[in-house]
Amino acid sequence: MLAGSLTHTHCRVYLQFSLDQLHILSPSIAMETHLRGAEPSCDVTEEEEEPCSSKRRRGDPRPCVSRVIRVQQKEGVAWRNPGAGSHQEEAGLTASFSVTAAVIGPVVSWGRDPKNRPMADRETESESEDKLVLVFSGVCARWFPVLHPGCVYRLIAAHSQDPSVLIGCGVSERRGVELHAHSTLQVRPDWRFHTVTRPLLHTCTQARSPSVMTLSQVLDCSSDVVCFQAQVSDRISVKRRDSAAGVCAGVCAGVRLTVCDQTGCSLQVYLDLSHTPYPPGLLPGNTLLLSAFQRRESRWGGVYCSDLPVSSVTVTSLGDSSCVSPPPAPMMHLGVWVGSREQRCTVGRVRGHVVCLLLLQLRWSCSLCGGLYTQSCSSTPCGSSSSVFQSTVKLVIDDGTGEAHVWFSGAQVRALLGLADSQWEGLQRALQVRGHIRIYPRGRSLVCDSEDPLLHFLLCVCSSEVVCRQLSLTCRKQNAQRSEEMKRFSRGGRDFMTRVTSPLQLTCTHISSD
């Protein structure tokens, strides 16, 4: 194949699973029929109190007990020690979470699994709704994305006719002491949860779901704990920092999510993953429901959110390119934006001319620890054989009303430098030996005596008219804006001290040439 005949490249990733390692949480009727060997299904009727001796001879019915509950609160998944009596094979830390639910009715016995059939009258005979805390540990933590506050579920204990298995253990009461603790029930691996979509409304009143705020409401409210739904626009890993040495240890301690909604507002959410498993689905484009997150204010007056031990993250929808895109960000003037203290003005469109580049950094990093990567990871205890290419550019842009320092990263750097795909790939190959390069062009005035051809090539690119051109950018205002600083100027043998406003710090999210 000729070098110039390659027009584009793409790849596909295939995942192959073994049926022995899969567990279907809620199989369909077709799947149930297939698993039973195409045996005709039989509906469960409310009068299934009869012996059903003929069905038992065929082995189809499976006796079980069930209880209808309504989820009121769900805590996040964390590493915990389940302790004794949790039906775990090995002791130690395991993924666990708990759910507080209201018990709608008594424990009911069935001749076969009722699944998600409508509620029967005998399932709502209880006069009062007691509270029950369900504890999920180990493999039972797979139910976390299925259970949602405000929804009604039927908890089923298969292969059992003992009603006591679904009755929680309470705290022993002493004379003169009033108990406020709820009963606790450890969920077993063979138990099942089925969503009850049509409960009997005349006997089971639906609880109001937690109030879900918009991002604008989160930014303006005074609540300490909030629940909101938003779309992920960016995800950055947060490395663990060694407090003694003051350096980054290279271990992922959490993530920082940038979320947005249809109103154009954006918010940063910090997740501490040092004591919790990594939640799946934290990908740009996915919509998340973040419950019981702490609303906090930074020293610069910005609003952000961080997780609590009771926080939970649920993926409500996956990203789809066919969905309607959010409205465009408002057009902003740099001179007005730099003095704006409005928290809403975090994302805006800027149109200006590139004055010069201040920094260009290209680097191969270890995909495991983040250290410098040449032929292998330079970190001795790591020794990883996989790497990622990272690129960063910092430039000065002027729109006539003011200047701003804009940061670019990833694929935006290639578009900014005006390099073709083949040139960008060749630049990555040329950098594999040394691992990284960092240059400070500072406009057209830099004089370099180095004989490094790669350095000369990058300097010529940075000072070319291809880079210093008119651009239309969609940028996000950084939270940590520098304050005014004093500078000294010398003119005609005299020194002058003046206060200079620091340039606006922006991060580019989308780039387009005029």
Give the per-residue pLDDT at 201. Answer: 45
Which of 4-13, 34-43, 50-59, 345-354 is predicted least confidently?
50-59
**Band (54; pLDDT cuts 50, 70, 90):** very low
Q: Please check the confidence at residue 376 and state whether its pLDDT lies above 80.
A: no
For residue 485, what is the enclosing H or E element? strand 485-491
Residue 97, exposed/middle/buried by CB under 10 A (0-12, 13-18, 19+)?
A: buried
Q: Is 85:184 a contact under the CB 8 Å cutoff?
A: no
Tokens of 67: 């209880």
| Residues 90 and 76: beta-carbon distance below 8 Å | no
CA 318, distance to chain mean position in Å, is 12
Cα distances (Å, whole numbers) of residue 65 to 106, 109, 165, 184: 10, 4, 9, 18
Give me the architecture of the 334-513 domain, per CATH. Answer: Beta Barrel (2.40)
User: 121 or 248, which is more confident?
Assistant: 121
Kindly report, residue by residue over 449-483, the tens digit of the pLDDT.
567 788 888 888 888 888 888 999 998 888 767 66
Name residues whose C-beta falls within 8 Å of residue 497's C-beta, 6 or more positions apart in sequence: 486, 487, 488, 489
User: Is the CATH number 2.40.50 carried by domain 23-40+59-169+180-195?
Assistant: yes
The three-point CA angle 476-478-482 to 5° equals 145
Q: Which CATH class is domain 215-317?
A: mainly beta
d(CA 19, CA 34): 13
pLDDT at residue 406, rounded to an integer: 94
Distances (CA, A) of 174 to 167, 170, 177, 179: 21, 12, 6, 9
Task: State mean pLDDT over 170-192.
Answer: 71
Q: What is the pLDDT of residue 202?
A: 44
Encode pLDDT of 80-103 as tens digits.
Answer: 876 655 555 556 788 888 898 988
Domain boundaries, the chain: 23-40+59-169+180-195, 215-317, 334-513
* Residue 331 DSSP label: B
Average pLDDT over residues 350-367: 89
- 215-317 and 334-513, same CATH topology: yes
